Amino acid sequence: MSDLTLYDTDSSEETEPSLTLKLEAATKWEAKLLAEPKNRLALAALSTHASTAILQKPSALLHDTHVFSDQIELEGTPVTNQRSSGRCWLFASTNVFRVPIIKKYKLTGFELSQNYLFFWDKLEKANFFLEQIIDTQEEDLDGRLIQYLLQSPVGDGGQWDMVVNLVEKYGLIPQAFYPDSFNSKSSGRINWLITAKLREAALTLRSLGVSSKSGELEKHKAKVLQEIYGILVLSLGVPPKPDDTFTWNFHDKEGKFRSITTTPLEFYKENTGTVSHGAGVIDGVLGGGDRGGVAERFSLVNDPRNEYNRLLTVERLGNVVGGRGIKYINVSTDVMKSAAIAMIKAQRPVFFGCDVGKFAEGSKGIMDTNLFDYELGYNVTLDMNKAERLRTGESSMTHAMVLSGVNVVDGKPTKWRVENSWGAESGEKGYWLMSDAWFDEYCYQVVTDPAFVSKEVLNVLKQDPISLPIWDPMGSLA
């Protein structure tokens, strides 16, 4: 039996331990709390205003200004907006991809179609889920694994390796050829509909079982995928195919007319070689390194629960069957920062993943562990470290953005410039500021080119990965 005791913390008063909450104890706590003038003032302020407005520290706001020692000269424009969707990883990745395209074609502004990748990701995730259901027929329906797989089979979120899978198979296309639809900007309804259909299909596939006639499972899966394809087409629009030809007409910043005829796959292959440093890979570990580009890059993560310089993977996490699996190199935050700084100095934007909801203020676009004084307002401190927050579910990777600047003083970073995808009204015309202390506590991932890490780090890619269960915090999708 639990020995949980609720009692008055004033040791001068005797209290009788109890397993239940006693009204007398709450009355004493209230009297003690409101005996302090500060707490009465806090009651008046915090019960009528947002705590984030009341408890902001002016000193942090004065310190958090957008002046950086190193900044990417050509930041992508216009500022993007994912609207009411969880597509941050697709916006962050395409915001990275577009910078060298803007430079190559001398554009004043440019966006790649996030909706194009969104469409094919949904369909691929549906297929990936159904294959997982077929592969786990021996598992208990009420067990943790199946219940977790059923939670969010086609959620909007994703990871870097999943982006690579999409662009390697489907390519990229300018936004003008497949712009956002209502349902890509507000994805909740189609997510519900597809998820309901997939859950229904999961029960049918499990009932057919491993003893079904040859091809029965595959036929039912194909039928379900056809229905989901129909939902996506009717909700997002008819998508271009990877080998469809399109002609892109535009004027560059000098007013010169340009016309390019290509396909999504060719457009990807012709332009992403400039995204990477092109240093190649070691012993062909990554693959796709013959032309440089997106496929060379990989994720550094900081997970203090696990040993550093170890390769991690997450079981049953992905989007494309037979595609690149999820892999992370677990390193210290110093290694992540070093790679990010080197990339920024080389004029390369950096995809990164973090827990954006902690110690952040959206309208000002500030992420700073010193931003709010919760002890002053609520008489409490928050003392868990990064590993403890991961272990208890207090923190995980929830959002992907782009690093485009850093302020370095005496060889150490003090703050970072962040390109978000929440519109120009958020932050400093769409750009956020992250303190270096916030990076330490709530940044989990930096995607790097192999040229910007040591050979010791690169060699980690040769290891057999440590497999984390799909419900592990490192399996969360940004």
Angle, in degrees to the nearest 10, between helices 188-208 and 114-135: 20
Angle at 445 between CA 442 and CA 450, to 5 degrees: 150
Q: Which of 88, 115, 183, 271 is catalytic?
A: 88
What 3 state SS string does 300-358 have?
Answer: EECCCCCCCCEEEEECCCCCCCCCCCCEEEECCHHHHHHHHHHHHHCCCCEEEEECCCC
What single letter denotes the amino acid at residue 305?
R
CB 262 within 8 A of CB 245: yes
Closest CA to 311 of 331, 338, 292: 331
Cα–Cα separations (whole angstroms), residue 364 to 8, 392, 414, 441: 40, 29, 18, 20
Q: Which of 354, 407, 420, 443 is catalytic?
A: 420
Q: Which of 115, 165, 354, 399 is catalytic?
A: 399
- What secondary structure letter does DSSP report for 465? P
Q: Which helix (H) or strand (E) holds 378?
A: helix 374-378
What 3 state SS string does 192-258 have?
Answer: HHHHHHHHHHHHHHHHHCCCCCCCHHHHHHHHHHHHHHHHHHHHHCCCCCCCCCEEEEEECCCCCEE
Give me the residues paired with residue 446 across strands.
300, 352
* Residue where the block lists tokens 């995204």: 275
The Cα 445–Cα 339 span in angstroms is: 11
* Residue where the block lists tokens 């595959």: 218
CB 446 within 8 A of CB 336: yes
3-state helix, strand, coil in the chain (%, to 5): 40, 15, 40
Which pair of tokens denotes residue 166?
């999409």
* Residue where the block lists tokens 């203090």: 304
What single letter denotes the amino acid at residue 128?
F
Closest CA to 388 of 475, 474, 304, 301: 304
Question: Is 420 among the residues known to form the active site?
Answer: yes
- What secondary structure letter does DSSP report for 295? G
Helix (H, G, I), strand (E, B) or coil at 413: strand
Which pair of tokens denotes residue 346?
């080389």
**How many other C-beta atoms lie within 10 A of the C-beta of residue 251?**
12
Q: Would you name the residues annotated as active-site residues?
A: 88, 399, 420
